[in-house]
Structure 1
Amino acid sequence: MSEILRRQLFYVLSFLAIVSSSGQPSSAKTEKINQLKSELLFAKDSAQVDLLNKICDEFERIAIDSSIQYAEKALSISQVIEYKPGEIRSLNNVGYHYHEKGQYDLALKYHNKALEIAINSENRKYESHCWNFIARVHRSLSNMPKAIDCFLHSMEIRQELGDSLGLAMVSGNLGYLYWSLKDYENADKYLKQALEIDLLLKDTLSIASDYLNLGLLNQKRGDLDKGIALSEQSMELFKSLGDTEGEAVLYGNISLMLSEKGQFDSALNYLNRSYEMKKRINNTRSIAYTLGNYQKIYQEHGITQKAIQTGEEAIDYLNHHPNIEVSQRVLGRLAEAYFEVGNYKKAYESLSEYLTVKDSILDEEKSRQIKQLQTIYETNQKDLTIAEQKGELKLANAANSFRTKLIWAISLGLILIFSCIYLFRSYRFALKSKQMEADFSRQLLVAHETERKRISQDLHDSVGQSLILIKNKVSLNSDSSTADMVTKALEEVRSISKALHPATLDKIGLTASIEKQMEEIDGHSEIFFSEEIDNIDLIFPKDQELQIYRIFQEALSNLIKHSKTKSALIKIENQEHLIRLEITDYGVGFDLTQDIKSLQGLGMKTLRERTQLLGGKILIDSTRDKGTSIVLHINKPAQHV
């Protein structure tokens, strides 16, 4: 044996020893992996690269952290010996690893490099593989237009090569496309077509994947028993292959179907098995889905605190392993759970984050639909190609220019029609979202005011009465110092109680409450107030009167704190169709074009929110060194117009 060969053998043995300790394969895979490792000891150059990539493939779905080491070693050797097919395959294996770990930028970097080499070396087979890998990453990023475009590139090349497995993949991808558009009828058609081809080819792994997808499709269509049956068929095939990742995914899918059937204990048992298997594999992208599924199951069965706990754990995990689709689901459910337990602050925060994520996906959704319409012609051609392989159809004459022009004219017409439909649906969705947000804010404010009223009542009825009794006892003992302290404490409690909820509003009405507020402020402020206040009692419901009073309080508070004015105008006008409230000062003012913080401060934000809840309009005008004017218009209820 030559010195070079001895060194190479020593190097490979050392590498195998290191990698073997990092991931233990399942028993079904052990024999095959050991056989490949034995062959690797005596392989050289391109054969060595191919064997390293084969071992990587075996580890990918049972111990993903081990697979990357084989892929990186294969990449290193293939680059040294300039073995392009091996380099392309190694780059895609490394990219696949980073994709499954949720590191999408790195995944795209390696897949794009593989694509570049495949194109330059004119290797059409591997080029089709590269397009498919890139499409998967863009799908995970919710970049559906780009994903569809890449899938189409892959489909075209596979048709060109007459690849039967490729035709099955075409059907599967078309099934996914219609599934994502919620066209379950066409999704069922193409997924079954993929299964039929894979059964003819006796490709067990592809058959298992087809049953998995059909199981999920039946779950979406509400046929849970059929969905579970198909999923169990898929699981048996994955088990026979020793495919731990596929088995783990199936346990998770079945757990959700059992949960929908109301079988909580069984659902949780299946999900626990899925989670333990995924942790062993350490596929972070797959683990993220499982953590979200825990939250879903607990929430479906009314275990809200547990749903919140698992939801927060999922969000923490997603912060380190991003997944837009899972984040959207988890945040939406968290908002519902927090609202259910009365934690409105956390509910609002979760809802805001949910809407941010959902908006980003909706932007992609628009592009995806336009792109789908643009590819109608290509999709029809692929339908014909698949049918020809099965002997059902023959290709029409592609040279017919009239037919081509007609198809393009129809496609452009469809683009216009569906664009109009999309814009209309987007408009309706925006209105619905705005209404939901307004309803949510209204409920939060109502809950807030209810709580303030309760605390105010408790202070008045409990603490206030106790202080009065203490004061009377102290007075009887002639302890004037202590009596003064108790009197002061009693006044503070009354002041806090009044600030929390204006009792005068219920007793003397809105107009008198505003006038009384002005009297109190006038007595404790150096600002000269000019007042013109019309009677606006009994125009609005009690809850709206409270909001108007709060707006008046907030605006007046801002004026006293920030305006530095010597005089101010307070005007309330009872006009024919609306109530007009104006608060104007002649103080320092601010520049509306530059001082953005003043407009976005908490006080101004509260004014705007309360005004929106009243269905009114608020106008703010300010000039530096000349003062600020706040004008509020609130439409009267129909019966008072």
Structure 2
Amino acid sequence: MIIKQSFFLIILFLGLSINAQRNDFEKNITELELKIKQSVNAEHLKWLDSLTTLVEFDEALKYDSIARKTITYALKLDSLNIAITNTSKLIHYHSNIMGDSEEGLRIFKDFLSTIEAVTSNAIKGRFYLYGADSYAGQVDFDMAFKYYDLAKDCALKASNQSLLGTIALKTGGVLMEMGEAVDASKHIQEAIRIFAIEKDTLNLINAKNDISILYSQNAFYKEAEKERNEAIALSNTFKQETAVSLLYYNAAADYRLIDDQKKRISNLRLALRHNNSEFRRFYEPFFLCDLTIALAENDSIEKAEQYFDKIKSDPDTYSEGIQKEMYIEVLKQMALGKNQFKEAIDYGKQHLALKRVHKGYVEIMNAEKFLSDIYKKTNDNRNSEKHLINYYKIKDSISKVQNVKSLTYYQTLYETEKRDLKIKAQESDIALLDEKNKVKNQWLLFGGLGLLAVFGIVLLWRSRNAARKREQLQEQFSQDLLTAQEEERTRVSKDLHDSVGQQLTLIKKKAQNLKQEELSTMTNNALEEVRSISRGLFPAALKQLGLTESIQQLLNDLDEETDMFFSVEIDDIDNEFNETETLNLYRFIQETVTNALKHAKAKTLTVNIIKHNNTVEVLIKDNGVGFDNVASVKQHSLGLKTIAERIRMLKGTLSIKSKKEKGTQVLAQIPIV
């Protein structure tokens, strides 16, 4: 009884405190509104700016309209710094808080011409940063990277480390969304390093959250849990309730991936329990919808119904904007739980279409599996098999293998760099100690300087060796990734041919025996599609026809599929390469020609494969749109990195020449014995 009374007193005290704070808050707003009415010019702007800060990001207090009034009045008085500062916050509000990146981008473009007149690099950097976020929200990643780079230039000029860390974190987030796990890891680790040095706890928590998500996406669940637990401990220490709730929410996503449904539901409940910050209304729809989905998926339909009733009672909050996808997923899972298969299929199709727009491959895979299972329950085997094939195509993608192995390498590299930083810190301590004692003992000083010189030489030598070893490791990792890719392609190709292909052949024969022409035709089409996928994954013609004839057949097939004019000259290069080298050269030509067909917009394509005394020379040239700054494109293009790595594995050299509107030339020279 005493415990209950104490608890009641605490709650009562907290309630009184909150009411008192609310009363003070409303009083401040009233006072500022009165001052705004009674003032003009600079003083008027001062009170407007104060009111905007007071109601910042609060939709209920009409932050949007107050911020726009402040911006308009600041521009009227030529107070550009105040105008752009508030414009940046308004872009951030729409793009990152309300999820309306389209409106955020519109505001950014409207003020883009004004930014050059701003003298503060920190203010300009923040403006470019939120503009880049808006482009990323619209899935225009090229423009997002452009403005992240501009923001970084401004942050460097302003020596603003916190802003640099934020830019690195946001860039890493976009790369993570694109599936570029290696580059994403490097940027997020750089953000963690900066925030740790700056003692920026909140952003450090956000960065650890992002790296835990990246680890999870690549199946490093233990590493993800370690980073997340550190972030939760920090969040609890500094009472960051929003961060804690999001970390529990992400933990639930991990447990869903490893099929630990009990912990998934437990962490979703914890996320709801800790959702007590000013952003509660924004995050609650995500937490409630996901918890409803989890309960419905685990046959707790009665418990799910309790949360579902709350979701249905407020459709404007739960079914609009960025919550729409999750709302549709709730509807499909609830329909399935109630055995309403027709409604479940309709909602499943809507959900899959939404996920395809945003290219969330794991979610697309799950949506395909859901539809396959539903169609199977309704005995619609044709649609069930169609979605099941799509599910396996995504599941067996080798891109995840590439990212996981690369991420392991960069994680090791990061740990090595942390160790080197610790060594440097110890060296600094030794140097400081020698400096303090130089008056007492000159001989000790000279000896210490001598030791430091020797140590520096040794460190330099070790650093160069380490750099050389890192480069060798990177090359080996890249080659291992390509080898793993080909092995996985071969495995999937054989599985499709031996398993799915044989089953479809059997279905076709049964349909023909039963004279079901429509089913026979559909099965035949599906069989041809499976065979086409199988041939694309592994070119069996290499063993049957040889390298020269296989390349000729590849180019003939591509020539038939396009209006582009092909000019082909191929010498006989059979028996010049072993099996692995043959496959790499074939893939190099296939990927280079495919890139030209996709991107060059050319009218003619020249492919020459000429054998000299000790060299095979491959020239692929088009007269398409071309591009400038070849070095930059090679650095950021995954396709060009892949073909370059294939030529390196063949111990050859690769040259790429291109100019805007002048076409592109790719020349590979490969030595032969």
Q: TM-score, normalised by structure 1?
A: 0.56
Indicate conservation of the 8 Å contact 1:278/1:287, yes or no.
no
Q: Which has the higher contact order (CA 8 A, sep 6+)?
A: 1
Higher mean C-alpha deviation, range 112-121 or range 293-302:
293-302
Corresponding residue of 2:19: none
Identify which of 154, 157, 170 aligns with 2:194.
157
- The question of 1:372 aligning with 2:433 is answered no
Indicate conservation of the 8 Å contact 1:100/1:283, yes or no.
no
Which string of whole-angstrom CA distances, capped at 9 and with x for unpartnered residues, describes residues 66-110 of structure 1? 655655566554443344322222232233234334444443443
Identify which of 222, 241, 247 aligns with 2:284.
247
Aligned-partner Cα distance in 2 for 1:432–1:592:
23
Higher mean C-alpha deviation, range 148-157 or range 343-352:
343-352
Aligned-partner Cα distance in 2 for 1:425–1:171:
30
AA at the equivalent of 1:440: V
Q: Note the C-alpha offset of 1:403.
A: 7.6
Q: Note the C-alpha offset of 1:378.
A: 1.4
Higher mean C-alpha deviation, range 189-198 or range 63-72:
63-72
Indicate conservation of the 8 Å contact 2:245/2:270, yes or no.
yes
- The question of 1:450 aligning with 2:510 is answered yes
Aligned-partner Cα distance in 1 for 2:314–2:109:
25
1:433-582 matches, within 5 Å, as 434-436=494-496, 438-455=498-515
Which string of whole-angstrom CA distances, capped at 9 and with x for unpartnered residues, describes residues 157-213 of structure 1? 334434334443443344234323323222222111011122223333323322322
Indicate conservation of the 8 Å contact 1:142/1:324, yes or no.
no
AA at the equivalent of 2:502: R
Corresponding residue of 1:49: 84
Indicate conservation of the 8 Å contact 1:168/1:198, yes or no.
yes
Which string of whole-angstrom CA distances, capped at 9 and with x for unpartnered residues, describes residues 190-242 of structure 1? 11101112222333332332232233344445554444343333334435313
Indicate conservation of the 8 Å contact 1:370/1:419, yes or no.
no
1:240-639 matches, within 5 Å, as 240-267=277-304, 270=307, 280=317, 287-288=324-325, 290-291=327-328, 294-295=331-332, 304-318=341-355, 320-338=357-375, 341-347=378-384, 349-351=386-388, 353-354=390-391, 357=394, 362-363=398-399, 365-382=401-418, 401=459, 423=483, 427=487, 430-432=490-492, 434-436=494-496, 438-455=498-515
Aligned-partner Cα distance in 1 for 2:553–2:263:
63
Aligned-partner Cα distance in 2 for 1:45–1:594:
59
Aligned-partner Cα distance in 1 for 2:197–2:109:
31
Would the alpha carbon gap of residues 356 and 268 (structure 1) be closer, same or farther in structure 2, given more than 3 Å must change? farther
Aligned-partner Cα distance in 2 for 1:354–1:284:
27
AA at the equivalent of 1:431: R
Counterpart secondary structure, 2:179: coil
Would the alpha carbon gap of residues 301 and 191 (structure 1) be closer, same or farther in structure 2, given more than 3 Å must change? farther
Aligned-partner Cα distance in 2 for 1:446–1:176:
44
Aligned-partner Cα distance in 1 for 2:259–2:400:
27
Indicate conservation of the 8 Å contact 1:103/1:321, yes or no.
no
Which string of whole-angstrom CA distances, capped at 9 and with x for unpartnered residues, describes residues 444-482 of structure 1? 3433443444457xxxxxxxxxxxxxxxxxxxxxxxxxx
Which string of whole-angstrom CA distances, capped at 9 and with x for unpartnered residues, describes residues 242-275 of structure 1? 3433222212321232134311354466468669
Indicate conservation of the 8 Å contact 1:78/1:86, yes or no.
no
Corresponding residue of 2:267: 230
Corresponding residue of 1:208: 245
Aligned-partner Cα distance in 2 for 1:282–1:49:
33
Corresponding residue of 2:205: 168
Would the alpha carbon gap of residues 132 and 106 (structure 1) be closer, same or farther in structure 2, given more than 3 Å must change? same
Which string of whole-angstrom CA distances, capped at 9 and with x for unpartnered residues, describes residues 526-556 of structure 1? xxxxxxxxxxxxxxxxxxxxx9xxxxxxxxx
Would the alpha carbon gap of residues 100 and 168 (structure 1) be closer, same or farther in structure 2, given more than 3 Å must change? same
Aligned-partner Cα distance in 1 for 2:229–2:381:
47
Would the alpha carbon gap of residues 358 and 76 (structure 1) be closer, same or farther in structure 2, given more than 3 Å must change? farther
Aligned-partner Cα distance in 2 for 1:369–1:48:
47
Q: Note the C-alpha offset of 1:142.
A: 1.7
Would the alpha carbon gap of residues 278 and 206 (structure 1) be closer, same or farther in structure 2, given more than 3 Å must change? farther
Corresponding residue of 2:97: 61
Aligned-partner Cα distance in 1 for 2:297–2:234:
32
Aligned-partner Cα distance in 2 for 1:301–1:319:
26
AA at the equivalent of 1:48: A
Indicate conservation of the 8 Å contact 2:71/2:84, yes or no.
no
Indicate conservation of the 8 Å contact 1:88/1:117, yes or no.
yes
Would the alpha carbon gap of residues 322 and 219 (structure 1) be closer, same or farther in structure 2, given more than 3 Å must change? closer
Indicate conservation of the 8 Å contact 1:102/1:322, yes or no.
no
Aligned-partner Cα distance in 1 for 2:479–2:386:
33
Counterpart secondary structure, 1:240: coil
Which string of whole-angstrom CA distances, capped at 9 and with x for unpartnered residues, describes residues 408-459 of structure 1? 8699679959976995697367425632564333333433443444457xxx
AA at the equivalent of 1:362: I
AA at the equivalent of 1:246: Y
Query: Any stretches of 5+ residues in structure 2 without a counterpart?
Result: 1-35, 431-451, 525-551, 562-673
Aligned-partner Cα distance in 2 for 1:211–1:261:
19
Which is greater in Rg? 1
Aligned-partner Cα distance in 2 for 1:36–1:302:
49
Aligned-partner Cα distance in 1 for 2:268–2:418:
29
Corresponding residue of 2:165: 128
1:70-109 matches, within 5 Å, as 77-109=114-146
Would the alpha carbon gap of residues 350 and 252 (structure 1) be closer, same or farther in structure 2, given more than 3 Å must change? same
Indicate conservation of the 8 Å contact 2:261/2:294, yes or no.
yes
AA at the equivalent of 2:186: D
Indicate conservation of the 8 Å contact 1:56/1:70, yes or no.
yes
Indicate conservation of the 8 Å contact 1:62/1:243, yes or no.
no
Aligned-partner Cα distance in 2 for 1:25–1:162:
28
Would the alpha carbon gap of residues 52 and 130 (structure 1) be closer, same or farther in structure 2, given more than 3 Å must change? same
Query: Any stretches of 5+ residues in structure 1 without a counterpart?
Result: 457-495, 501-546, 548-590, 601-641
Counterpart secondary structure, 2:299: coil
Higher mean C-alpha deviation, range 273-282 or range 63-72:
273-282
Work out the percentage of aligned pairs sharing the same amino acid: 12
Higher mean C-alpha deviation, range 266-275 or range 108-117:
266-275
Would the alpha carbon gap of residues 433 and 26 (structure 1) be closer, same or farther in structure 2, given more than 3 Å must change? farther
Would the alpha carbon gap of residues 39 and 346 (structure 1) be closer, same or farther in structure 2, given more than 3 Å must change? same
Q: Note the C-alpha offset of 1:33.
A: 6.6
Indicate conservation of the 8 Å contact 1:101/1:321, yes or no.
no
Corresponding residue of 1:564: none
Indicate conservation of the 8 Å contact 2:372/2:387, yes or no.
yes
Q: Note the C-alpha offset of 1:376.
A: 1.0
AA at the equivalent of 1:376: T
Would the alpha carbon gap of residues 383 and 227 (structure 1) be closer, same or farther in structure 2, given more than 3 Å must change? farther
Corresponding residue of 1:193: 230
Aligned-partner Cα distance in 1 for 2:99–2:473:
50
Q: Note the C-alpha offset of 1:125.
A: 2.5
Indicate conservation of the 8 Å contact 1:84/1:117, yes or no.
yes
Aligned-partner Cα distance in 2 for 1:281–1:83:
40
Counterpart secondary structure, 1:235: helix
Q: Note the C-alpha offset of 1:120.
A: 5.0
Q: How many residues align?
A: 454
Counterpart secondary structure, 1:238: coil
Indicate conservation of the 8 Å contact 1:63/1:280, yes or no.
no
Indicate conservation of the 8 Å contact 1:255/1:271, yes or no.
yes
Question: C-alpha root-mean-square deviation of aligned residues, in Å?
Answer: 5.3
Which string of whole-angstrom CA distances, capped at 9 and with x for unpartnered residues, describes residues 26-77 of structure 1? 54xx277787678667653322332333344445434636655655566554
- The question of 1:180 aligning with 2:217 is answered yes
AA at the equivalent of 1:369: K
Indicate conservation of the 8 Å contact 1:288/1:314, yes or no.
yes
1:26-45 matches, within 5 Å, as 27=60, 30=61, 44-45=79-80
